[in-house]
A and B are shown apart, each in its own frame.
Chain A
Amino acid sequence: MREMIQMVVVLTILSCISGGLLASIKNGTKEQIEYQQLVFVKGPAIRAILEGSSNDPITDRFKLKDGDIERSFFSGAFDGKVNTVTFETFGKGYGGDIGVMVGVNLEDDKIVGVGVTTHSETPGIGALAKTNVAFSAQFKGMPLKDTFKVKTDGGQVDALSGATITSRGVGVALTEAVKIYESLKPQIADQLKTFSK
């Protein structure tokens, strides 16, 4: 009987200490882990879009509520003014959702850059949406107002050859970005003011 109690006590104490320790470490590293994930998963796209910005877009991030969804925004400062914001939207591609990071200049509502973050498109065809510079560069300077359609659908987007569905997906994501941007623009502008000192 004594042995039995000892077993239960030792195991209970060990588990409690272990649980407590892990919970505190998890809490302590939570922010750092979130930061690292942003840097290495979304970072490359954000950095490519906001190339030459004088701040760290990932440190200067903020969240806004859009209906029930919370969205992250990353701000970029150019010539001493925080005037650009990037955020991620999704569109349906050939192999699942395509994550697209869109950068917009708040002063003239024009796209400063577009970059694919996550996708599961066919390597060598649809996956080129992420690596093909010419494809993403064509959006630069387009006003973030219209809907984005590929040329075969009567729009203005040059599709990747052989990857019309992927290109359409990117277009859908951008059209989605227009909606988000238009509904949240006042709040985004307010947030950006807090970053310019």
Chain B
Amino acid sequence: MARSIAQEFTKGLWDEIPPFRLVLGLCPVLAVTKTVENGWGMGLATTFVLVCSNVLVSLLRKAIPAKVRIACFIIIIATFVTVVELAMQAYAYPLFLKLGIFIPLIVVNCIVLGRAEAFASKNNLVRSTLDGLGIGVGFTLALSALGAVRELLGTGMLTFYETPIQIFGPSYQPFTIMVEAPGAYVGLGLMLCIMNMLGKK
């Protein structure tokens, strides 16, 4: 099934949106989506790594020997993850404190390795870049959406740029469970359910 160039990008936004359709990369999805801000911070970091690693893997796909391709992909991915980690420490330290260990853990995020192995190593530069961008943006949207739902239900407010905005008013009794670990599963399950209902033919 051949896709047009534009479809390589848009497939990541709905048809193959990572945590919901592919159900991949659940570790950051469940762990960091306590707030919208954490969600999109993590999403942007992953997008950067995805695009860069897809570009490089696609460019080097003829030079990398098949038997050591996974090792090569991991080196490439780990390099970009470290770049992100250092950049975040230098320019967005509060976000780095909140995301903590989950930034280095992007290395073992199966979405990134999965796109390198399943897509970028078999496709040309343009398609691989768009694929990385599409999947990355989809991942960011998914994390932000889940973060928004959890933060809204769990605390009654949404935080943007360190300023909390009260949405439900002071009389709202928060579902504290939504910002705890079980809330991540409940939130993800509900969103999967809604997406499947919408996508039903």
Query: What residues of A have a CB within 8 angstroms of the CB of B89 in the complex?
Result: 29, 33, 36
Could you give, for residues 30-67 of chain A, a 1 whenever the CB lies within 8 Å of some chain B CB and a 0 otherwise?
00110011011000000000000000000000000000
Tell me whether B93 and A22 are in contact (CB under 8 A). no
User: Counting CB contacts under 8 A, is B197 at the interface?
Assistant: no
Contact present for B79 and A3 (CB under 8 Å): no
| B10 sits at the interface (CB 8 A) | no
Using an 8 Å CB-CB cutoff, how does the interface string of A1-21 with B read, 1 for contact, 0 for none? 001001100110011001001
Chain A residues, Cβ within 8 Å of B83: 21-22, 25
Known contacts A10-B64, A26-B86: A40-B93 contact under CB 8 Å: yes
CB distance from B33 to the nearest CB of A (A): 23
Kindly identify which residue among B65, B90, B91, B93 contacts A10, using a CB–CB cutoff of 8 Å: B65
Number of A-B contacts (CB under 8 A): 51
Least CB distance from A18 to B in Å reads 4
B68 x A22 contact (CB < 8 A): no
Interface residues in A, total, Cβ within 8 A = 19
Complex alpha-carbon distance, A21 and B86, angstroms? 12
B contact residues vs A (CB 8 Å cutoff): 63-65, 67-68, 71-72, 75-76, 78-79, 82-83, 86-87, 89-91, 93-94, 97
Question: Interface of A with B (CB < 8 Å)?
Answer: 3, 6-7, 10-11, 14-15, 18, 21-22, 25-26, 29, 32-33, 36-37, 39-40
